[in-house]
């Protein structure tokens, strides 16, 4: 990336106009960049020893696979020649002579055949990296490819063909293993594609059932899903009943009952019964497809620690080059040491100082973390948001749908004056007829259950944070909070004892009235989530010092709910702009503030937080697009898991950085005292690379969300069995 920034950056107006996805081998030229043709970009990239062509998702996987095969072939050829040379030496000199290859340097004459085999091993080992090293040398910008090639050339100059071949082979092997590990992380994301079956059993207009590729199924086509089969497309059940396992999308292990009118999602499993489903989205627009695209795009949004590693490598490599020159020159000049001896030690330093393990382990860790989270029903939009949850100290959340179930019901109707309960419900339903707010759905459900014929009110107007106004039956009618009634001058019309009883029970008071005053009261009750108290306690245990509940509900109702679940602070009777102000206050007082909202109504407040979490993103395009992190269900049980997952990821990344730097420091010290050998250095470098990559890939292992109070486990991670590109 560093060399591409230096070469391509100036041609597009600066490096800030470039974005890189290391895992997919993709370079993106942003819309803000100066105009440049694809051919110009390809020529610039070619000048660095790499190749590029316009990004094509379909061909990218083939290109990456071909590159891995090419690396494997050259590594195998290098290794075969290295092994042949080593065996030839054993045959000629015996085992004792073979051990001499690993002891000292420049102490034995090598037969021509043996030297030739090692020379071929060197050629195959450096074949793929030599162009990059040459480009790096021409630009005076040393990188790990140049370090290795200089070490190999230097060893050849000293007559150390065995050590040169060892460095070339093991460096080639290291690069191949890195590509393999990156492919493993990339394939973990690609495995999401396998969740949706490639075909659907479509019912033709004449009633005949035909298997059709899922990509060819049109919206509104009907298809059959039998018990035990995966659902190929998002849709609506039009016939049949069953129970669907939505774990691949939401991370929930419990089967979800489905019947006529219910939504289903591609990639989920029909556990029982046969369903007839009407496709509501094309294969490219399903929730699963969006998740795959989001996780893929998230690779390019690098975490701060990833950016630090990249900057460190850019500074570190030139320093190592200078230190190697110093080791080669200063001891012979100042202390009279042997030139060959200290030149060899300088080459050893170049080998062990190669930062490949340090550079590759972090992006692999991030991608593994993103993929594991997606399988747990948590969609993280980028590496930056993998790191943030682990540092969360304050969390703000809405009451409805977060602490409570989000499914309020009309618990009681209290007519006042001459009004009847029927008239109250008819007026309330008329005002709410075109609203999708949870309170509106509760009122409309009650009206339907009572057989009330609902006609939408005329001239309806929403008063943000207050309620609704409109006209019905020749009267101006309104509905809203007791504060709304107070603003209209009717606060005293609400009986104090009734207000106290409703608010003291944690219910919501909704006043209904007209131009003459308050004609009645509705009591709406939203059940608190049974596991809300446990989740809040877990958040506190994970280091979230302040949890704030934000709500437009009245103070007493909000405090009753907060006290029951253990929330620290309550801010009630809020307008949308009030939530923004409170988030700004939290940001000023805390290092990392998260806001949980629905991704639409709370968008301004969510934008002010350090990062935002959208609840229940399944089926909601807006929620997925708005927030930095989207929970695929409306269950905040994912939030403590997310914090723990973030910390586990950062622990592994810090372990990898520590292991890499400690190994480098050890061999630098040994080299300074002339106690290290080149073959030992490269073996240690490859070993460290394997260790940190294996450590990073541990994040792909299944991870379970805590057991719910009902005793059922909520499975968090349901694990299912690089060309560069350019585009404006």
In this structure, of 66-70, 290-294, 323-327, the range with the lowest mean pLDDT score is: 290-294
**Residues carrying an active site annotation:** 398
Indicate whether 567 pLDDT > 90.
yes
**Where does the pLDDT of residue 557 fall: very low under 50, low under 70, confident under 90, or very high at 90 and above?**
confident
Indicate whether 98 pLDDT > 80.
no
380-413 tens-digit pLDDT: 877 778 889 999 999 998 887 788 877 788 889 9
Q: Which CATH number goes with the domain that contains 451? A: 3.40.1110.10
pLDDT of residue 407: 75
Q: Which of 507, 525, 543 is the last residue of a domain?
A: 525
Mean pLDDT, all residues of the chain: 80
* 686 located within any domain: no
Percent of the chain surpassing pLDDT 70: 83
Indicate whether 534 pLDDT > 70.
yes
pLDDT of residue 714: 35
421-431 tens-digit pLDDT: 998 999 999 99
pLDDT of residue 285: 83
Indicate whether 640 pLDDT > 90.
yes
Q: Which of 490, 505, 525 is the last residue of a domain?
A: 525
- Please classify residue 5 by burial: count the beta carbons closer than 10 Å to its beta carbon, then call 0-12 exposed, 13-18 middle and 19+ buried: middle
Q: Which residue's structure tokens are 């060197």?
A: 122
pLDDT of residue 705: 46
pLDDT of residue 203: 93
3-state secondary structure of 8: helix
340-368 tens-digit pLDDT: 878 878 877 777 767 766 777 777 788 78
Mean pLDDT of 172-193: 68
35-68 tens-digit pLDDT: 888 888 888 888 877 778 887 766 777 777 788 8
Mean pLDDT of 86-110: 67
Indicate whether 105 pLDDT > 60.
no
Residue 91: which H helix or E strand, with range?
Answer: helix 57-100
Mean pLDDT of 482-501: 87
Mean pLDDT of 615-639: 72
Phi and psi, residue 691, nearest 5°: -65, -45
Based on the structure, what is the number of domains in the chain? 3
* 170 located within any domain: no
Rounded to the nearest 5 percent, the helix, strand and coil shares of the chain are 55, 15, 30
Gap between the Cα atoms of 674 and 160, Å rounded: 17
**How many CA atoms within 13 Å lie on the side-chain side of 23?**
31
**Where does the pLDDT of residue 103 fall: very low under 50, low under 70, confident under 90, or very high at 90 and above?**
low
* 447 located within any domain: yes
Q: Which of 285, 320, 347 is the last residue of a domain?
A: 285
Q: List the domain range (segments joined by +) for residue 224.
A: 197-285
pLDDT of residue 647: 93
DSSP 377-405: TEEE-STHHHHGGGG--EEEEEIIIIIB-
* 625 located within any domain: no
Q: Which CATH number goes with the domain that contains 260? A: 2.70.150.10
* 483 located within any domain: yes
Which tokens is 23 given? Answer: 């895992």
DSSP 108-171: S---HHHHHHHHHHHHHHHTTTHHHHHHHHHTT---HHHHHHHHHHHHHHTT-HHHHHHHHHHH
Which tokens is 711 given? Answer: 């005793």
CA dist 272 → 242, 251, 297, 303, 633 (Å)? 5, 19, 35, 43, 22
pLDDT of residue 718: 34
CB atoms within 10 A of CB 236: 16
Indicate whether 175 pLDDT > 60.
yes
pLDDT of residue 706: 45
């Amino acid at each position: 990336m560093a060399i591409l920034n230096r070469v391509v950056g100036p041609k597009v107006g600066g490096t800030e106009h470039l974005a890189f996805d290391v895992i997919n081998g993709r370079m993106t030229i942003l819309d803000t960049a100066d105009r440049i043709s694809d051919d110009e970009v390809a020529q610039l990239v070619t000048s660095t020893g790499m190749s590029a062509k316009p990004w094509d998702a379909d061909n990218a996987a083939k290109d990456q696979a071909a590159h891995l095969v090419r690396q494997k072939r050259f590594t195998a050829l290098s290794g075969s020649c290295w092994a042949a040379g080593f065996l030839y030496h054993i045959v000629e000199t015996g085992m004792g002579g073979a051990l001499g290859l690993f002891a000292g340097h420049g102490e034995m004459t090598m037969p021509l055949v043996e030297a030739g085999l090692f020379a071929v091993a060197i050629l195959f080992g450096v074949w793929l990296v030599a162009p990059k090293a040459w480009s790096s040398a021409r630009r005076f910008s040393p990188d790990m490819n140049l370090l290795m090639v200089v070490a190999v050339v230097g060893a050849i100059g000293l007559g150390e063909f065995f050590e040169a071949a060892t460095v070339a082979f093991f460096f080639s092997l290291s690069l191949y293993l890195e590509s393999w590990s990156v492919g493993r992380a990339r394939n973990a994301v690609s495995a999401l594609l396998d969740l949706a079956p490639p075909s659907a059993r479509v019912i033709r207009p004449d009633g005949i059932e035909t298997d059709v590729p899922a990509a060819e199924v049109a919206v509104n086509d009907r298809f059959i899903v039998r018990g035990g089969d995966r659902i190929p497309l998002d849709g609506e059940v039009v016939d049949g009943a069953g129970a669907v396992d939505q774990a691949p999308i939401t991370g929930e292990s419990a089967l979800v009952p489905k019947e006529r009118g219910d939504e289903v999602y591609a990639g989920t499993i029909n556990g029982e019964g046969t369903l007839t489903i009407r496709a509501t989205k094309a294969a490219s627009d399903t929730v699963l497809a969006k998740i795959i695209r989001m996780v893929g795009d998230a690779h390019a949004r690098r975490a701060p620690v990833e950016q630090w590693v990249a900057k460190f490598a850019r500074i570190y490599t030139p320093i190592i080059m200078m230190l190697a020159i110093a080791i080669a020159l200063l001891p012979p000049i100042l202390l009279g040491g042997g030139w060959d001896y200290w030149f060899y030690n300088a080459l050893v330093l170049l080998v062990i100082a190669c930062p490949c393990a340090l550079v590759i382990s972090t992006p692999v860790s991030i991608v593994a973390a993103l993929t594991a989270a997606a399988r747990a029903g948590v969609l993280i939009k980028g590496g930056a948001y993998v790191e943030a949850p682990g540092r969360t100290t304050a969390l703000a959340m809405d009451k409805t749908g977060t602490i409570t179930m989000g499914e309020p019901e009309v618990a009681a109707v209290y007519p006042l004056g001459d009004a009847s309960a029927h008239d109250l419900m008819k007026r309330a339903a008329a005002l709410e007829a075109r609203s999708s707010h949870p309170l509106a759905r509760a009122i409309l459900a009650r009206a339907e259950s009572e057989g009330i014929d609902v006609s939408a009110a005329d001239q309806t107007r929403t008063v943000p944070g207050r309620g609704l106004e409109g006209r019905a039956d020749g009267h101006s009618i309104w509905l809203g909070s007791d504060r709304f009634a107070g603003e209209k001058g009717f606060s005293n019309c609400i009986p104090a004892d009734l207000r106290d009883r409703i608010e003291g029970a944690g219910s919501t008071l909704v006043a209904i009235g007209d131009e003459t005053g308050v004609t009645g009261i509705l009591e709406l009750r939203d059940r608190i989530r049974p596991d809300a108290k446990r989740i809040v306690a877990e958040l506190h245990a994970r280091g979230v010092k302040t949890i704030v509940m934000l709500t437009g509900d009245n103070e007493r109702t909000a405090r009753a709910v907060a006290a029951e679940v253990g929330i620290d602070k309550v801010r009630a009777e809020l307008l949308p702009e009030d939530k923004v102000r409170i988030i700004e206050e939290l940001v000023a007082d805390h290092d990392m503030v998260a806001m949980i909202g629905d991704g639409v109504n709370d968008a301004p407040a969510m934008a002010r937080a350090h990062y935002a979490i959208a609840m229940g993103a399944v089926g909601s395009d807006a929620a997925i697009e708005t927030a930095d992190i989207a929970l695929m269900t409306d269950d905040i049980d994912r939030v403590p898991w997310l914090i723990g997952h973030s910390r586990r990821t950062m622990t592994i990344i810090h372990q990898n950085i520590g292991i890499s730097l400690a190994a480098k420091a050890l061999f630098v010290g040994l080299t300074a005292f002339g106690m290290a050998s080149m073959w030992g250095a490269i073996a240690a470098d490859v070993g460290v690379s394997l260790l940190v990559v294996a450590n990073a890939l541990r994040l792909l292992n299944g991870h379970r969300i805590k057991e719910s109070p009902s005793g059922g486990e909520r499975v968090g991670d349901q694990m299912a069995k690089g060309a560069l590109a350019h585009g404006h």
